[in-house]
Amino acid sequence: MSSSALCLAAAAAAASPAALAPQPDASPAPVAPVSPAAPASCLESGDGYFRARLAGAIETNIDWPNSGTQCEGESKNTPPGVRLSFQRVPSGASNLLFVIGLSGVREGRPGREVRANLTIIVQGTDRFFGTLGDSRCTVDSLSQRRLRSAKVYRVEARGFCTQPAHAIRGDGAVLVSTFEFAGAVRYDPPEANAEKPAKNGPVK
C-alpha cells in the first residue's frame, strides 16, 4: 500500500464513531464514607443514669451513665402508675435489663414512699427475677420535670428493696438493696394504655 493510502486509512479510522467515543474510566468509583452510628443515650439532656446494688444470685454494683444507656418509660393502668426500663447498649458482660413499675405516680407530680415492682432479666437466657408485686421495694423520693415534648417528663427517683426478687423459673434470688435512676416517661391517654399488652411478663 502506498504512503498516501496509509494516510487516508489512518484518517478514516480517526474519524470513525468508535475512535471518537469516550473511553471508559478504569479507576474505581469513590466509596462514600460510612458515618458511625450515634451512641445510645438515655436522655437528650445528658443527665440520665441508673445505679443499683445487687447481691445474691447476681453480685454486682451497677453504675450506668447517660451515654451508652438505653431507657424507656410509659404510664400504665394496672395498677395505675408508670413503668421504666434500663439497659446498657452495647451490653456489658452481665447483659441485664431492669424494669421498674411504680404504683400511684401521676403526670408531673412528685412522690414519696412510692411502692415499686422490680424485675431483672438476664438477656439472652431464661433467667428472670421478680418481686411479683409492689410490696417489697419502695421509692422514698421521686421528682418530675417536663421535657420538650408536652407529655414526656424526666423522672428521677431513689429507692430500696427490703426483700429479694425471686427467680421466676428455677431457684435463686437477687436483693437490690438500693437503686436510683433518672429516665424519661411518656404519659399516654388512658385509652391508649388500655390497648397495650403488658411487657416482660411478670412486670405490672
Burial class from Cβ neighbours inside 10 Å (0-12, 13-18, 19+) for residue 45 reads middle
Q: What is the mean pLDDT of residues 80-104?
A: 89
Give start and end residues of each alpha helix (H) in the chain: 3-15, 17-20, 190-194
Q: What is the mean pLDDT of residues 130-158?
A: 94
- Nine cell digits for residue 106: 401521676
Euclidean distance between CA atoms 100 and 201, whole angstroms: 13
Maximum pairwise Cα distance, the chain: 110
What does the CA dihedral 156, 158, 159, 165 come to, rounded to 10 degrees? 60
pLDDT at 20 over 50: no
CA angle 88, 128, 48 (to 5 degrees): 25
pLDDT tens string 25-47: 555 555 545 444 556 899 999 99
- Structure confidence at residue 8 (pLDDT): 38
- Tell me the one-letter amino acid at 53: R
Asked if the bond preceding 90 is cis, omega within 30° of 0, the reply is yes
pLDDT tens string 139-151: 999 999 999 878 9
Where are the domains positioned within the chain?
A: 49-194
pLDDT top residue among 32 and 65: 65
- Structure confidence at residue 78 (pLDDT): 84
Q: Please, how many CA atoms are within 13 Å of residue 58, restricted to the half-sphere of its CB?
A: 28
Q: Model pTM? A: 0.74
Strand segments (E) across 89-199? 96-103, 114-122, 127-130, 137-146, 152-161, 165-167, 173-186
